[in-house]
Amino acid sequence: MQFHDLGLDGPVRIELERRGDDRGFFARLFCAEEFRQKNLKHDWVQVNNSLTESKGTIRGLHFQRPPFAEVKLVRCVRGAIFDVAVDLRHGSPTYGQWRGVELTSENRSMLYIPEGFGHGFQALTDDSEIIYFNSAVYAPDLEGGLKFDDDSVAIDWPMPAIGLSDRDSRLPNLAGLKPILLPSD
């Protein structure tokens, strides 16, 4: 696997190293030793599958608060998405900054999103399907979110937004978000 820092002290784009021949290829999606060497958390306790039917649909930006703050590892297995991580860690030098990467079934890249980051994506094709690993179980009382079109964050979404859920349309802007305080490592 190849790990590419995205400049926000945490999120990483991961490219698979394919080994193949005329039959196809083999690639590791996860290796505990390589994640440990990169100081990336990797204690997965839940794996989710999401299908978004219409291109342009935005899901997120979501997170969970401690003690159920979660790390996510996201891969698109059908179609294409623009996957986004926003630094929501109170006191972080990159607080409020975001990075986005295109994840497709063809490029097979993944996005690692650490604790304290909001996560969301926009479907770039109809019937975009993702699988993502989580380091914490779903805790509805500790979930939170950030409005996808907050001007102070200014995410450059690739296309006009459609299909926003009622819940996501009511999420606060960064200024109205209760700070996320993570325990010291």
Selected catalytic residue, list 4, 42, 62, 95: 62
Q: Is 132 a catalytic residue?
A: yes
- Residue in 42, 119, 132, 138 annotated catalytic: 132
On whether the CB atoms of residues 163 and 56 are closer than 8 A, the answer is yes
Active site residue 90: no
Please say whether the beta carbons of 17 and 28 come within 8 A.
yes
Residue 28: Cβ within 10 Å count = 11
Pair of tokens at residue 183: 């325990």
Tell me how long the chain is.
Answer: 185
Contact predicate 71/112, CB 8 Å: yes
Strands (E), the chain: 2-5, 12-15, 19-21, 24-26, 46-52, 58-64, 72-78, 80-87, 98-104, 110-113, 117-123, 128-134, 143-145
| 97 in Cβ contact with 155 (< 8 Å) | no
Catalytic residues: 62, 132
